[in-house]
Amino acid sequence: MSKALFFRKCPNAEDYQYRASNFPTFGQELNYIIYKTITLSKEKYDLVINGFLYDNKDVIKYTDNLTMDDSDTVNCLLFTCDNKSGYLVYPAGYSYCRYVAYWEEN
């Protein structure tokens, strides 16, 4: 099972990287399963990663399927534009990217 460092309520990717570099103990390392990969154009991807706290139509569409199980494994979306890196999103029942984690292809 794969693990990633999730942070709650990051406004954007820059803030996520700052938190991950400077305050990793404030994040939650969780097991994750990618429920669905959302591949976007560079322009749309930039809108998502620069506005994690805004309502997101893809998050709204799949939020009922994005759950956490008894072993703290989250089903999440992967937002990417190149399928090599991106952000995992676990909305925890909300309509925005409430928990995010950076992801890179292994």
As for how many domains the chain has, the answer is 1
| CA distance between the termini of the chain | 13
Res 80 pLDDT > 90: yes
Percent of the chain residues topping a pLDDT of 70: 100
pLDDT at 39 over 80: yes
Mean pLDDT of all residues in 15-22: 96
pLDDT at 106 over 80: no
Beta-bridge partner residues of 13:
none
Asked if residue 75 has pLDDT above 80, the reply is yes
Rounded Cα distance between 28 and 16, Å, is: 12
Tokens at 29, concatenated: 């390392």
Alpha carbon distance 73, 54 (integer Å): 24
Whether residue 73 is predicted with pLDDT greater than 90 in this model: the reply is yes
1 has a pLDDT exceeding 80: no
Identify the three-state secondary structure at position 64. helix
Which domain does 30 fall in, by range?
2-104
| 8 Å CB contact between 59 and 16 | no
Mean pLDDT of the chain: 96
Q: pLDDT, tens digit, for every residue of 46-69?
A: 999 999 999 999 999 999 999 999
